Structure 1
Amino acid sequence: MPAIAFELDEHLFFWLTQVIGARDRQLNQALKGFGLRVPEWRALATIYARERCTMSELADLTTIDRTTLTRTVDRMEHAGWVARRPDESDMRVVRLSLSAAGARLFARVWPTVQRLNRAAVDGLSAQAVAQLRSTLSRMKSNLDDQPAASARAA
């Protein structure tokens, strides 16, 4: 059986995983002082940016599996950072919003996250960062547009 040519260092998704893993390790350390973990931060920041999102929207935006996300939001609600409210037009749908305490927590944590984000792109020009954001957005669109069956066949 012939060997398959594969260089890990040439695999784009290897590098994406490495970047996210390194950032999450640093972020976890930084968040400890605020009593947060990375999944809680992702949820907090997403609810801040997308006020009144549903659990499904939050799961899609944070890429946190639904079981973990439910436990995460439960902890956040218990801590007084998040409120769950039924949607006015469909009582089966639950909307999430930050409480005043959650908004204050976001405001305290955000400068730390910004510092880590700046460190991650240190040495890159603003144009390079904008191009990277555009490229990643395009890749996400490509993956969203591709049916799951054809992705499995590839």
Structure 2
Amino acid sequence: MKSRETSGKYIAKLLRMLNLYLNHSLKKFDLSSGVYIFLAELFDSDGCTQDELTQRIYVDKALTTRALTKLEQSGYIRREKDERDARINRIFLEQKALDIEDEFWEILLNWSTVTEQGMTTESRTVLISDLKEMSLKASDYLTHNLGRKPQ
């Protein structure tokens, strides 16, 4: 019989467990697993547009709008109209977000420490390289077969 083991099965399991961990760990900041990826992306690209976030995270515009509304209502971000094109919203981090940035990343890195426990540095490097490659292949597939825009 052909093996039914797939990388996707384990990636999906890890994502569900990560969500449980994040919902518990980020509760003190009034954040959840549903918005963490948006905040993480903004820490690396403060001032990007709402559409850029949607494309980078591979979600639909409605989900981006809901997540940003939660972050805005919680005081973590603000939306401003682009100076050249008022149809475009740029997203900026507020001081409240900057105040938790170090602890936010500490929480995320702790999960990596938990899941990578016992792995050698070389094994971890290969894993991250392979996951990046898988992500790029998935992006290419979605772009060419489903019409999704690349990151």
**Interval of TM-score (by shorter of Structure 1 and Structure 2):** 0.7 to 0.9
Matched, 1:30 2:25: yes
Matches within 5 A, 1:39-58: 39-58=34-53
Say whether 1:73 aligns with 2:62: no
Shift of 1:95: 0.8
Tell me the CA shift for residue 57 of structure 1.
1.8
- 1:11 is matched with 6
Greater radius of gyration (CA): 1
Partners of 2:30 and 2:74 within 8 A in 1: no
Alignment deviations for residues 66-116 of structure 1 (CA, whole Å, 9 cap, x no partner): 322211211211222101112233222111110111111223322222212
- With structure 2 as the length reference, what TM-score do the two structures score? 0.84
**What amino acid sits opposite 2:145 in the alignment?**
A
Structure 1 consecutive aligned stretches of length 4 or more whose deviation exceeds 3 Å: 5-8
Flag the 1:73–1:137 CA change in 2: closer, same or farther, 3 A: same
Q: 1:6 & 1:51 partners in 2: Cα distance?
A: 47
1:89 — aligned with what?
Answer: 84
Task: Using structure 1 for the length normalisation, give the TM-score.
Answer: 0.82
Post-superposition offset of 1:145: 2.5
- Identify which range, 58-67 or 44-53, moves more after superposition: 58-67
Cα RMSD of the aligned pairs, angstroms, is 1.9
Do structure 1's residue 129 and structure 2's residue 116 form an aligned pair?
Answer: no
Identity of aligned residues (%): 22
How far has the Cα of 1:6 moved from its partner?
A: 5.2
Instruction: Report the count of equivalent residues.
Output: 144
